[in-house]
Structure 1
C-alpha cells in the first residue's frame, strides 16, 4: 500500500478517535485508540517503536520512540498540547530521516477541531 493511501486511513481514523473522545485527554489515550482504529482498518502498526541512532556504523540506543509506525512507511507522532511548535515538527522530520520514510503525521488532539491539529510532514530524502 502506498504512503498516501495509508495517510488517508490515518486521517480518517484520527478523526474518528477525536470525534468520540474530544480534546483534553492524555497522549497515551489517543495513541492507544488510534492504534486500535488503524489495526481495525487492517494496517500493521508498531506502537512505541524503538528507534536507535546510527553513528559511524554504531547503533546507539538513544531512547527515541516512534508513537505509531504504520506499515513501516508512515510515522505518526501524537501530541495533546496547547499548540504545536517547531520542535514537534523537527521531531517528526528526524524520525523520518532515521527510518528513511517519506511521510509522517504530527497530530495534536488537544484542539476543538482536529483539522486544526494535523500537520502532514514529508521527508525530501
Structure 2
C-alpha cells in the first residue's frame, strides 16, 4: 500500500458554492468538459462527470478511470460514489497541497474526513 505520510494533514480543501444532483451535473453544459474521453488525448481522459440515471433508474457509469479495465461498469466504484449521496459539490475556491500538506491542529480533528467523499 502506497502512503504519502499525510495522515493528520490538510491535503485538500474546497469551499462549496453550489450543490446539484448527479443528473444535473451530467446535463449542465458548464461541466461537459468534466466527462472523460478514454479515446482522446491524455488530458481528456480524466474527469469526474461520469454518472447519469439510466432508463432502469440506476446510475450508469461512463467509461473512465473509475470503470473496469475493459471499460465496463465497476460496481464497487459506483456503489462507493453513489450509495450515500446523489449530490455533487461544486466549488471554484479550492487548494490541493499533496505532500506539502500542513498539519491540522488537534483541536480541529473533528473536521477530518478519511477516505473518499466529503464531510460538511
Structure 1 or 2: more helix by fraction: 1
Normalised by the size of structure 1, how large is the TM-score?
0.26
Larger Rg belongs to: 2
Higher relative CO (CA 8 A, sep ≥ 6), structure 1 or 2?
2
TM-score by length of structure 2 reads 0.27
